[in-house]
Amino acid sequence: MSDTLSPHRALGLTDAEYELIVDKLGREPNEVELAMFSLMWSEHCAYKHSRKLLGQLPTEGPHVLMGPGENAGAVDVGGGLAIAFKVESHNHPSAVEPFQGAATGVGGILRDVFAVGARPIAVLDSLRFGELDSARSRYLLEHAVAGIGHYGNSIGVPTVGGELYFEGPYEQNCLVNAMALGIAEHDRLIRSAANGPGNVLVLFGALTGRDGIGGASVLASAELDEGDADKRPTVQIGDPFAEKKLLECSLELLDRGLLVSLQDLGAAGLTSSSSEMASKGGLGLDVHVDRVPLREPGMEPFEIMVSESQERMLCVVEPARVDEVLAVCAKWETTATAIGEVTDSGHLRVLCDGEVAGDIPVPALVDDCPLYDLAPAKPAEPIYPAPPRRVQTDDPRELLLALLASDNLASRRPVFEQYDCLVQSRTVRRPDEADAAVLMLPEGGAIAVAIDGSGRRVACDPYRGTVEAVLECAANLACVGAEPLGLTNCLNFGNPEKPHIAWQLSESVRGMADACRALDVPVVGGNVSLYNEGPEGPIYPTPVVGMVGRLPEAARAGRLGFAREGDAIAFCGPFQPSLPGSELAKLRGEPLPDGLPELDVAALRRALEVVRDAVRRGEVRSAHDVAEGGLAVGLAECCLAGGVGAEVDFRGAGEQLLEQLFGEGAGGFLLSGPRPALAALAREAPTTLFGVVAGRGEDLVLALDGGATLRWTLAELRDAREGPLAERIGA
C-alpha cells in the first residue's frame, strides 16, 4: 500500500508503531482508535524522542509542592501560599495562523494553571522570528503580539515580562512560548488523577467543534513546508471571554469542594484529558460522545474525541454532587454535561448511542508509546550560515549606537505597551524597570519571575549555552533580590531523528540538568517542541527557561536604572567576556564559533548570591546583569532607565577594549550604590569599583588610555534604542 493510502502514516504513525498498536489491541484499530493513538503517540503528547533525556533533570526540592506530571508545577512561597507555573509552546500553530496560534497558546497555559486550582496572576512570553527584513517575519510578529495582547488583556491577566529576538533560522518556524503563573493556598491545589469508580465525568466550558482537529499530530509533530496554509483548519480558535467565565467557574467549584479531580482540554482534546486522568488514577473511563455538546452538527465520534476546541475542562464528580456542579456552571453561563463515568476496567471506552465506538486499554494509549534512543552526532560542518554584515566600523562609539539600534537590543516598548502589565494591581516592577518582573504577595513579600534563552549561544555550544541560559534567568532574579524556588522549561529544537539535532538536544538537556543541580533549582514542569525546521534547515536550538523566586520585602525589589548622583558604580562577578557568538559578532556578519568559553559555575553561583543578598539588604540602589551586547550596552541601559549619566573608567583595556565593552558571557553584574557598601562586596565576590553616577540628563562618558574619552549624550542613546524597532514594525 502506498504512503498516501496508509491511514496510520497519514496520521504520523510509523509502520512499526502501527504494528505495536495492533499487538497491544490484539486486533486492527478502528477509525476512532487509530485517531486517538495517533495523537497520544505523537511527539507532542508522548515526548517519545525526549522523555529518556528528561529523566536527567532534578525535580525535587524543599519548596516543591507539585512536580512534573501535573498540569502545572507548584512551589511553596510561604504563608500557606503556592505559586503554580508552567511554560508551553505554540510554535507550529503560530507559524500557520499567528493571531489565533499565539492567543490560544496563552489560553492553554492559563488553563494549565487554574486546572491545578490556582488563580492566574501573570503571563510572560518568549518570542522568536526571522529577521525583520522579511515581510513574513513582520507579519508573524504583528499578529502574534496582537493575539497575546488580545487574550491576556481580555481575560484580565497581566503580561509582565518576556523576551523577543530576530534571527534568520526562525524565518520558517517562529517560536511562540507562553508562561503563566497562578496563586493558591496549599490546600486548594488539586490533581488530575481520576478517582472513585462510579464517579461521574463532567465536561464544561465551550461547545466542541472541528477547530483544532489533528493539531497535536499534524502541526506539532512534523516539519512545516510550503503547504503550511493548508494546515490552517488545525489551528484552534480562542475566546478569552469564554475562558474568563470558565476560570471563575472552575475556581468556585474548587472553593465549594465539589470536584474530585480537574483537567484542562488542550492538545488532543478529550482523548488526552480523559486518558491521562484514567492513567494517573490507574482506572478506566467510559466516554459517551453522543452526550458532548457540539457547535457543529454531524460530527463523527473520532472528531469529537480529537477536537482541540478551546476553553473546555473535564472533571470527576461524585454522583450526589453532579447537580450542584451543573448549577454552578449555569450560574457562570458555562455549558456543563455529564458525559461519562469512572470505571475499574482499566480501559478507555468511547460510546456513541449505546454502541462501543472505541475500546483501548489505558496503559496502551498513555504509557506504552515506544520511546526512542537518539543517535546524536556532533556535526562535522557548520549547520547555520553566517548572518549578513550590518556594521562596517570598529569605532566603539558608533558600535554602541549600532547595537542599541539593532533588532535584538532595541527597546521592546512598542511590543510590551500592547499588553496590560498592571491589571490585578500586583505588579511591583514593570517590564522596563528591572531585570525580572516582581509581583506582590498578600503578606507584603513578593515573587519574581523571568524567562530567558539564547538560541544563538546554544547553537555555538549546546551544553554551555544552556548553562548560560539557566544562569541568566537566575541572575535576573538576583538583580531584584529573589531566591529561585523552581524552574520550568520549553525545549525548542529541530528534527530529533537527525543526528546533529539529537546531539544539540542531548547536550542541551545535560547542560540544563548540571546547571539546575549546581544552583539547587528543581525543574517542576515544562514542554518539548521538536521538528521546528523547514526546507532551509532547523531553528537555532532554543531551550527557554522560566524561573520563579521569592523575596521577603516587595519594597526592596531591585531596579536596573542608576538612581542617585554621586553613587559609585561597581562591576561584580567572575565575568570573562568574549566576542565570538555575541551580538556584535552577528552585526559583523561573523559565523558562529564552535564552542563557548568554560564556566566556573560555583563562582558564578556565589556572585548571584552576593548580588541577591546586597539587594535584599538595601546596600545597592540598582542591579543589572550584563547580557546581550556586553558591558557597554548594560551601562547605557542603566543610564537610560535612571535618566542619568555616568563616568566610567576603562583605562587599561588596551587592545582588548572592544572585547571589554561588547564581549558577552555569564556572571557579570553592574551595581550602583554607596561606595563603602560596594567596596565591602569585594570580600565576597570579585568586585571592581570603576565609575560614578552623574547627574540627571548628563552624558555617559568612558575614560580610555592616554587621556582619551568616549562620550554619548542620553538623547542619542535614547534615540538609538527607542526608535528603530517601532519604525521597523510600524508601531
Distance (Å, whole) CA 104 – CA 85: 17
3-state secondary structure of 300: coil
The residue annotated as part of the active site, out of 44, 92, 500, 624, is 44
- State the cell numbers at 257: 469542594
- Give the containing element (helix H, strand E) for 112: helix 98-114
Instruction: Compute the distance between CA of residue 72 and CA of residue 86 in angstroms, rounded to an integer.
Output: 5
Dist. CA 652–CA 12, nearest whole Å: 61
If you search the block for the grid coordinates 558564578, which residue do you land on? 604
Q: How far apart are CA 586 and CA 578, in angstroms?
A: 13
Instruction: Extract the C-alpha cell encoding 503.
Output: 546531539
**Rounded distance, CA 530 to CA 49, Å?**
9
For 667, the grid coordinates are 556572571
Active site residue 186: no
b/e code 333-360 from CB counts within 10 Å (16+ = b): ebbbebbbbbbebebbbbbbeeeebbbb
| Cα dihedral 516→517→520→521 (10° resolution) | 30
Instruction: Tell me, letter by letter, the H, E, C secondary structure of 12-45.
Output: CCCHHHHHHHHHHHCCCCCHHHHHHHHHHCCHHH
d(CA 585, CA 581): 6
| Alpha carbon distances (Å) from 410 to 300, 395, 560, 612, 700 | 50, 20, 16, 27, 18
Helix (H) or strand (E) holding 584: helix 583-587
Cα Dmax for the chain: 90
Q: How far apart are CA 325 and CA 199, in angstroms?
A: 13
Catalytic status, residue 150: no
Contact 47, 267 (CB under 8 A): no
102: Cα within 13 Å, side-chain hemisphere: 27
- Measured between alpha carbons, how far is 327 from 319 in angstroms, rounded to an integer? 14
CA 101 to each of CA 36, 151, 157: distance values in angstroms, whole numbers, following the listed order? 23, 11, 18
The one catalytic residue among 8, 49, 63, 90? 90
Strand-pair partners of 175: 128
d(CA 604, CA 668): 9
Burial of 223 (0-12, 13-18, 19+ CB in 10 A): middle
Question: Which triple of cell numbers denotes residue 238?
Answer: 480562542
Place of cell 557597554: 632
Strand order across the 568-572 sheet: 622-625, 669-673, 568-572, 687-696, 644-649, 700-703, 709-712
Do 57 and 513 form a contact (C-beta atoms < 8 A)?
yes
Q: CA dihedral in degrees (475, 481, 487, 488; nearest 10)? A: -90
Is the Cα dihedral 432, 123, 473, 527 positive or negative? Answer: negative
Beta strands in 268-321 (DSSP E): 284-288, 312-317
Cα separation, 696 vs 694, whole angstroms: 7
Active site residues: 44, 90
